[in-house]
Chains A and B, each alone.
Chain A
Amino acid sequence: MTEAQSNLTIENPKMSARDVKVFYGEKQAIKGVSIDVDMDNVTAFIGPSGCGKSTFLRTLNRMNDTVASARVEGEITLDGEDIYAPSMDVVQLRARVGMVFQKPNPFPKSIYENIAYGPRIHGLAASKTDMDVIVEKSLRRAGLWDEVKDRLHDSGTALSGGQQQRLCIGRAIAVEPEVILMDEPCSALDPIATAKIEELIHELRGRYAIVIVTHNMQQAARVSQRTAFFHLGELVEYGVTSDIFTNPRQERTKDYITGRYG
């Protein structure tokens, strides 16, 4: 990490990236990003469209593996373990580093099945009773239990957009991940549903390391304690959220925050 990029040091990072470069074929999308993410804070990635913040987020649980032309260089570790090492099982990695996507994408199955799917494939529930407990706990943590407890066997796709997104968060929580990556989780939601998700992020903080990509600067200011500003595939500045928004050190960060571009 070059000193210009960061104005904070993180002890005991949960995940850390060192000089990560991502290429799509010939095109370089990420140009040497180094960043640490810790357990106790919510980290927000902000930046204009196409700056690479989502691409970088997807390298953290190797979702870029599904893109044939994508190539990742550099080192990313989870608890000091290289996640791109051959010994790392990508299926297990994704169970430990869960993801919530931009558009709510529940499975076209019942609410119960949506939550139960992850624990079932990873063998986390020994019995039906276990599974019921996991489903209830996950839905409670996702703040959805009271709304759906009477219709657990209705289709997950029949819920409203905000409820669907909380269902997706519940689905990610159900496999007990250590890190939750959120890729613009509110961009398809109305303000009330957005407020509920933000509230939920507050409640989940500390239990999971949370990284959220957002194009909404107010949201970053509201939900995060650490903010990283990306521009043109580079990490321009990374620091305590309040510092980034009130006292940015880099000219480009200042320009973006004050609305000169984006």
Chain B
Amino acid sequence: MSLLSQAISDPEYPMSRPTRLPTDWKSDVMRKRIARRYAAERRFRLLGMGAVLLSAAFLAFLLVTMMGNGLRGFTRTEIALKVDFPASPLLLDPATITDEALSQANLPMVTGAVAKKALGGDADVLLSPTAWISIRDAIKADPKILGRTETIRVPASTAIDLAAKSKGSPEAEAEVARLKQLGVLSTGFNWNFLTASDGTDPTQVGIWGAFKGSLLTMLVTLVLSFPVGVATALYLEEYAPKAWWTDIIEVSINNLAAVPSIIFGLLGLSIFLNFLHLPRSAALIGGMTLALMTMPVIVIAGRNAIKSVPPSIRDAALGIGASPVQVVFQHVLPLALPGILTGTIIGMARALGETAPLLMIGMRAFIATPPGGITDPATVLPVQIFLWSDEVSKGFVEKTSAAIIVLLIFLLAMNGLAIYLRNKFETRW
């Protein structure tokens, strides 16, 4: 006989239970308890909303400052220069315009003389040191203008540019007022900023060299770290026996992901440059160094993604006679891929914004031509930003902000691509 039936058959059964009053769900104590619970809910929700608002405010502040400063970096002040070619000291035959002839024509000097004549006084200092390039390009585009007077827009000097856009020195402000009266001042999109590389004068610098350097570096990083990271994650999850040495590898990889990035720079310096003697300042070395840094992130994310593939899928495939390699590559990897891609993009985004390790391997050099390949000297966007932020000339402030905008756009494009790929490979259950 069970204990329960024993209890029920006991004649004293109902009496043997301790008496207990029915709960009064409407009592004051209950009401207070409910009020407290609601208050806690409200408090927590307000706290959460506050946190979201605070971070949104920071983001808005960042974006507004960046845009405010940076967008000016994409425009330039131009001066319409009336060039009377026949009267100028330019000795060029319209019939034989070659690059060599143009380079021997001493265009910078001619430009200065023309400016003095057209705008009076020391007008040559009002122009950017690169103003002659605009004239050269105009002659190249149409040699016939050498026979007549032509108005050509040339970039203004940094001082004029600053004074025209916001606030410059009193002298520059006065010049701007005078030029405005002459009606020669205008604002144009600074294509030069997107096509040129680093330079000494803020009016002539561009982001293309650093952008291309970043692109090449990221390419090297991806090509090295993605396959190695994924293969490591697959091996550790699917094949490696659970032994003491796999535990050590796991701990080491987790630690590597937390190592300060400058340490990787030192590693790259001592191995790739001092030991292997690979070319200094090149995207190849930058990419290899950043790959060392990115790989642990991919391994960790990859292992988590692989772990979250349901074991029932492995059973299903093994159960109809798939070999372990087939299980891994036809079932586990496709299902884990979205998660692996998410991890990869986190690692790559971190690598894209990294400056410190690249400084260690010499990618902070002044490089005025875009790299042609991964072994050419190059710099990357964050290093370029760092270098420009260090410049004394005021004109670099807006260039720095503009470069930051380019970096952010690069980052957004990369993330967008990753999200697209992730959704494409995502399996709907």
Interface residues of chain A, those whose CB is within 8 Å of chain B, are 61, 63, 66, 68, 91-95, 98-101, 103, 105-108, 117-118, 121-122, 155, 157, 168, 171-172, 174-175
Contact of B316 among A91, A121, A168 (CB under 8 A): A168
Contacts of B317 in A (CB 8 A): 107, 117
Q: How far is the CA of A68 from the CA of B429 in the complex (A)?
A: 29
Query: Is B427 positioned at the interface, with any CB of A under 8 Å from its CB?
Result: yes
Contacts of B195 in A (CB 8 A): none
Interface contact B322-A121, CB-CB below 8 Å: yes
Closest-by-CB residue of B relative to A119 is B320
Say yes or no: A105-B318 contact (C-beta < 8 A), given A68-B241, A157-B429.
no
Contact of B331 among A92, A95, A107, A171 (CB under 8 A): A107
Say yes or no: A105-B320 contact (C-beta < 8 A), given A68-B242, A157-B429.
no
Closest-by-CB residue of A relative to B331 is A107
Q: How far is the CA of A95 from the CA of B318 in the complex (A)?
A: 9
A226 to chain B, nearest CB (A): 23
What are 16 residue pairs bridging A and B, where the CB atoms are less than 8 Å apart in the complex? A91-B323, A99-B315, A101-B312, A105-B310, A105-B312, A105-B313, A106-B316, A107-B313, A107-B331, A108-B335, A108-B427, A117-B330, A121-B322, A121-B326, A157-B429, A174-B320
Query: Is B319 positioned at the interface, with any CB of A under 8 Å from its CB?
Result: yes
Interface contact A66-B312, CB-CB below 8 Å: no
Q: How far is the CA of A171 from the CA of B322 in the complex (A)?
A: 13
Contacts of A168 in B (CB 8 A): 316
Contacts of A105 in B (CB 8 A): 310, 312-313, 315-316
Minimum-distance CB pairs A-B, first 7? A95-B321, A105-B312, A99-B319, A118-B320, A94-B321, A105-B316, A108-B427
Contacts of B331 in A (CB 8 A): 107
Query: Is B277 positioned at the interface, with any CB of A under 8 Å from its CB?
Result: no
Query: Is B148 positioned at the interface, with any CB of A under 8 Å from its CB?
Result: no
Q: How far is the CA of A171 from the CA of B428 in the complex (A)?
A: 20
Closest-by-CB residue of B relative to A103 is B312
Query: Is B140 positioned at the interface, with any CB of A under 8 Å from its CB?
Result: no
Interface contact B321-A118, CB-CB below 8 Å: yes
Q: How far is the CA of A174 from the CA of B429 in the complex (A)?
A: 23
Q: Which B306-363 residues have C-beta < 8 A from chain A?
A: 310, 312-323, 326, 330-331, 335
Q: How far is the CA of A31 from the CA of B50 in the complex (A)?
A: 63
B323 to chain A, nearest CB (A): 5
Interface contact B319-A98, CB-CB below 8 Å: yes
Q: How far is the CA of A168 from the CA of B317 in the complex (A)?
A: 11
Interface contact B323-A155, CB-CB below 8 Å: no
Interface contact B429-A171, CB-CB below 8 Å: no
Q: Which B361-398 residues have C-beta < 8 A from chain A?
A: none
B236 to chain A, nearest CB (A): 14
Q: How far is the CA of A259 from the CA of B340 in the complex (A)?
A: 50
Contact of A61 among B242, B316, B319, B335 (CB under 8 A): B319
Q: How far is the CA of A118 from the CA of B321 in the complex (A)?
A: 7
A24 to chain B, nearest CB (A): 14
Interface residues of chain B, those whose CB is within 8 Å of chain A, are 241-242, 310, 312-323, 326, 330-331, 335, 427-429
Closest-by-CB residue of A relative to B321 is A95
Interface contact A171-B427, CB-CB below 8 Å: no
Interface contact A92-B315, CB-CB below 8 Å: no
Interface contact B316-A107, CB-CB below 8 Å: yes
Say yes or no: A91-B312 contact (C-beta < 8 A), given A68-B242, A155-B428.
no
B76 to chain A, nearest CB (A): 55
Contacts of B319 in A (CB 8 A): 61, 63, 94, 98-101, 172
Q: How far is the CA of A117 from the CA of B242 in the complex (A)?
A: 30
Closest-by-CB residue of B relative to A101 is B315
B312 to chain A, nearest CB (A): 4
Contacts of B335 in A (CB 8 A): 108
Contact of A95 among B312, B320, B326 (CB under 8 A): B320
Closest-by-CB residue of A relative to B310 is A105
Contacts of A172 in B (CB 8 A): 319-320
Contacts of B429 in A (CB 8 A): 108, 157
Contacts of B314 in A (CB 8 A): 66
Closest-by-CB residue of A relative to B320 is A118
Contacts of A106 in B (CB 8 A): 316
Interface contact B320-A117, CB-CB below 8 Å: yes
Contacts of B310 in A (CB 8 A): 105
B262 to chain A, nearest CB (A): 40
Q: How far is the CA of A103 from the CA of B241 in the complex (A)?
A: 27
A190 to chain B, nearest CB (A): 20
Say yes or no: A122-B321 contact (C-beta < 8 A), given A68-B242, A107-B331.
yes
B311 to chain A, nearest CB (A): 9
Contacts of B241 in A (CB 8 A): 68
Q: How far is the CA of A95 from the CA of B326 in the complex (A)?
A: 14
Closest-by-CB residue of B relative to A104 is B312
Q: How far is the CA of A61 from the CA of B318 in the complex (A)?
A: 10
B105 to chain A, nearest CB (A): 69
Say yes or no: A101-B320 contact (C-beta < 8 A), given A108-B429, A121-B326, A155-B428.
no
Q: How far is the CA of A174 from the CA of B314 in the complex (A)?
A: 18
Contacts of B322 in A (CB 8 A): 91, 117, 121
Contacts of B316 in A (CB 8 A): 101, 105-107, 168, 171
Contacts of A171 in B (CB 8 A): 316, 320
Find the residue from A91, A93, A101 having the highest chain B CB count within 10 A. Answer: A91
Q: How far is the CA of A100 from the CA of B429 in the complex (A)?
A: 20
Say yes or no: A98-B242 contact (C-beta < 8 A), given A66-B314, A108-B429, A157-B429.
no
